[in-house]
Structure formats: structure tokens, C-alpha cells
Amino acid sequence: MFRDDVGTLAHELAQFVHRVVHRGGFQIRHQGNRYTIRISPQGGSPTDVAMLCSSPRELASNGNPRLPLLLDDELRRMSPPIQVFNPRGQNLERIPEVQRLCGLILECIDPDSNIQNSIVTLPQAAVTIFNAWRAEATNLVNSNPSPTAPINLRQFVNAWQRRTPLRRRMQTREEVPLLDLVYKLVTWIPPMQNDIEGLVYLEAITRAISQSALFGNFGAEIIFDPSNPNSRLEQASIREALWNIFMPLATGAIEIDEDLLETLPSDRINIMSIHQAKGLEFPLVIVDVGSDFRYDHWKQAFKRFPRLNNIGRVDGVKSLNMEDELRKHSPLGQSSRSSLDRAFDDLIRHYFVAFSRAQDVLLLVGLNSVRSGIPNIATGWDRNGSWYWRRLTNLVHI
């Protein structure tokens, strides 16, 4: 399925998926035969469909929506709607549930941003995200979410800010684990309790906290001393949490671990990276081979048809260029294969993984510019510049 622009592609791909899942299937004719593509009437579900991309990101670097986001929007507007499972589609720090949880934590441990404002070397990008998190948390508190008894969210946050968590007055100095605070706060964030995507986000945050405990001085704990409020020790523990946990989260240094995505929801279309799909199979696999390639531009050639630049390096593949620089100084010696050949090898393996995930139907999608001539390993070009699709008779364009 190839179309002139990504918006049209997303719309017609959504129509195809909806017919496969809910409307009796999609029919195609080929060489006098008729075939119907549909999920199995015996136990089939949307999870039988997966879309694989080199990157499942919803937005391009310039902020424009990519196919995963456009397809998600189209499927949600259909009747009945189809949900999409794409936890890696957004930056972790901009997901609403993550913003609310992190904002609540910051409001609990550092009310009025006192410690945050005292760190003059904190990156401005992190400060901006922190403030956005706090705003989301304030909005959530003001909405008075359930449960409201025996204690509501505002009372819980206020108690923490007074250093009397859960109406329990501290008598001596205590080390309060941040993880304990996290698991109490998700009481007011339902998606992090009962939605698999929300649970993935929660796991990413708790892993960040747990890992910071391994090398931090305070073990991801906040020191509270009722006999000495705002002590230097308490301030140091909060400052460490801001630096070691929340600053990496806010600046995009922490991403969803693909190991967390072993369980896929049965009621959603899965959108994932090709790398993430290794070892998995689906009855219908949709592979995005060119929704980003409107022109034959050298900056994205490494994603489809690698080329050498004017100094003999492979454009866009830093790992290969680094290997060429370092390997000759190691016991391995210089590789017998050129960096260009290795770039093609990697790309061929990449798409072999993608295409071999399909159990029954493989659908390639992209722009017409890719179908009609932009060199792309995924659309039948070889490294010598020969294009085999033009001679094949068993390809069906829908």
C-alpha cells in the first residue's frame, strides 16, 4: 500500500485495518483468484495485527506527525474505535501519566520548588519540564480525583509537605524510600494501575529510581528529621533525587526498556520497532518501508540505501565509522568488508527480521515516491543498484 502523502496513507491504512478486524475482511484479487484478509473468527483479536517501523516515534525531529501517530488518530475516530499499543511512540517525560506522577513526587518532596530553585546548574530544559510536571500535578490535585476517602490526594500531598506522611507524625529521623511514595501516589492515577501501557511507564520510572539507589549516597531515599526541619542532610537527599532521577527523566535520557514489552495487550494493534519484534510473530504484519521518504535525500539514505560521502565514510552510520577507526588498532585488525558493504548487510538483516515476522500476510506501506524509484533495500533494490520489483508479478498493490 503506497500513497502520495502520509496523511492519505494513514487514512487508507486505517480503513484496511478496520475492515480486517471488524468488517468481515479486506478482499483482493490476484491472477483470477479472490482472497479475503481478516482476523480469525475463532479467537482473533486486534493483537493479531502489528505494524513494524524502524522507529515507532510519533513525531519527527521537526515536530511533524509521523505515520504511527496519524494511524492511531485515524483508528480512534472509527466506529468501533481500535486502540493502538505504542508505549515507545512518545518521549517518556511528555506522557500525561508520567507528568502527573513525577509532578506529584516533586510537590511532595520539594514543596514550592525550594531545593529545585537552589540548584543553579540544573539545565534549563529540565527546569522547564519540572515546572510543567508540577502544573500537571496541581491540576490533578485540584480535580480531587478518586479515591477521596479515607484520605484524598490534596490531604496526602499536604501531609508529605508538612513531613507527616499519612497522618503519621515522625518522632525520629527517618529515611523514606521514594518507591514507597510512588506506589502510594499511583492510587490516584488509574492508568498506572490497570492499563498495560500505564504499567510500562510506571515500571520505567521505578527502574530509574531503583538504579539510582545503586550509586547514590542516599539510596533513593529522602531524609526527614522532625527535630531539624530542612536540615542540610534532607536538602542533600532531595538534591540528589532531582539530579540522579528526575533530571534524566526530564531530559529524555531514560527510555522505555524493550524488555518490559514482553506482554502485549489483546485488544490493541501493536506498533513497535523492528528490533523489538525479534522473536515475535503475528498473522498480519504491516512494515513501514518508506512513509518518511518523500525525496531521495542523502541525510536519510542510511535508513534505506547507504552511500559514501566525499571523504569515504557512510553517511549517518556513526557505529561503522567508529569501528573503522578503532578496529585496526585491536587484535581483530581491519575488517575485510568495507564499511559500505557492512551498512548494506545490517540493513538487509534489519528488514529480514521485519518481513519474517508475518505468519500469513505481509503488507508493506510507504509513499509512492518509494514505490516508483527511490532506492530502498526494503523495496527490492540490491546494493548494486538493480531494482527487482519492476519484474515481479506476485506483488499486489492495494
Asked if residue 197 and residue 284 are part of one domain, the reply reads: no
Number of domains in the chain: 2
Asked if residue 387 and residue 295 are part of one domain, the reply reads: yes
Asked if residue 178 and residue 121 are part of one domain, the reply reads: yes
Residue 66 has a pLDDT of 95
Structural domain of 71: 2-88+268-391
Tens digit of each residue's pLDDT (9 = 90 or more) over 305-341: 998 888 778 888 888 888 888 888 888 888 888 888 9
Reduced to 3 states (helix: H, G, I; strand: E, B; else coil), residue 81 is coil
Residue 88 has a pLDDT of 83
Asked if residue 25 and residue 71 are part of one domain, the reply reads: yes
Closest CA to 372 of 349, 397, 355, 353: 397
Residue 236 has a pLDDT of 94
Residue 49 has a pLDDT of 95
Last residue of a domain, one of 255, 287, 305: 255
- Rounded Cα distance between 153 and 139, Å, is 11
Residue 397: inside a domain, yes or no? no
**Average pLDDT of the chain to the nearest whole number:** 90
- 10 Å Cβ neighbour count for 375? 19
Residue 263: inside a domain, yes or no? no
Q: Which amino acid is it at 228?
A: N
Residue 261: inside a domain, yes or no? no
Identify the residue whose cell numbers are 515507532. 56
Asked if residue 287 and residue 173 are part of one domain, the reply reads: no
Tens digit of each residue's pLDDT (9 = 90 or more) over 244-295: 999 999 998 887 766 655 667 778 899 999 988 988 999 999 999 999 999 8
Last residue of a domain, one of 214, 229, 255: 255
Last residue of a domain, one of 233, 255, 277: 255
Mutual angle of helices 178-185 and 96-109, in 10-degree steps: 130
| pTM of the predicted model as reported, rounded to 2 decimal places | 0.82
Closest CA to 115 of 101, 134, 99: 134
C-alpha pair distances (Å), 264 with each of 24, 85, 89, 185, 275: 24, 8, 15, 25, 16
Residue 220: inside a domain, yes or no? yes
Grid cell for residue 45: 483479536
- Rounded Cα distance between 353 and 188, Å, is 41
Which residues pair with residue 52 across a beta bridge?
272, 287
The alpha carbon of residue 184 and the mean position of all alpha carbons in its chain are separated, in whole angstroms, by: 25
Residue 70: inside a domain, yes or no? yes
- Rounded Cα distance between 199 and 321, Å, is 38
Grid cell for residue 174: 527517618
Asked if residue 296 and residue 339 are part of one domain, the reply reads: yes
| b (16+ CB within 10 A) / e for 313-333 | bbbbbeebbebbeeeeeeeee
Residue 398: inside a domain, yes or no? no
Tens digit of each residue's pLDDT (9 = 90 or more) over 75-121: 999 999 999 988 888 888 989 999 999 999 999 999 999 999 999 99
Asked if residue 191 and residue 142 are part of one domain, the reply reads: yes
Query: How do 49-53 and 282-290 pair as beta strands?
Result: parallel
CB 17 within 8 A of CB 6: no
CATH of residue 277: 3.40.50
Tens digit of each residue's pLDDT (9 = 90 or more) over 12-71: 999 999 999 999 999 998 888 999 999 998 889 999 999 999 999 998 888 899 999 999
pLDDT > 90 in the chain, percent = 60
Asked if residue 116 and residue 238 are part of one domain, the reply reads: yes
Which residues pair with residue 34 across a beta bridge?
29
Closest CA to 224 of 108, 101, 131, 130: 108
Q: In the chain, how many H helices and how many E strands?
A: 14, 10
Asked if residue 248 and residue 120 are part of one domain, the reply reads: yes
Which residues pair with residue 28 across a beta bridge?
35
Mutual angle of helices 318-327 and 339-355, in 10-degree steps: 130
Q: Which amino acid is it at 58?
A: E
Residue 368: inside a domain, yes or no? yes
Q: Which amino acid is it at 83?
A: Q
- The backbone region for 328, taken as left when phi is positive above 0, alpha when psi lies in -120 to 50, beta otherwise, is alpha
Residue 223: inside a domain, yes or no? yes
- Rounded Cα distance between 95 and 84, Å, is 15
Asked if residue 272 and residue 247 are part of one domain, the reply reads: no
Grid cell for residue 375: 532506492
Identify the residue whose cell numbers are 546548574. 121
Query: How do 358-367 and 2-3 pair as beta strands?
Result: parallel
Tens digit of each residue's pLDDT (9 = 90 or more) over 190-214: 999 988 888 889 999 999 999 988 8
- Rounded Cα distance between 247 and 178, Å, is 15
Asked if residue 281 and residue 201 are part of one domain, the reply reads: no
Closest CA to 187 of 169, 207, 166, 162: 166
Tens digit of each residue's pLDDT (9 = 90 or more) over 221-245: 998 876 677 788 899 999 999 999 9
Asked if residue 228 and residue 284 are part of one domain, the reply reads: no
Grid cell for residue 396: 499486489
Grid cell for residue 394: 506476485
Reduced to 3 states (helix: H, G, I; strand: E, B; else coil), residue 54 is coil
- Rounded Cα distance between 28 and 42, Å, is 22
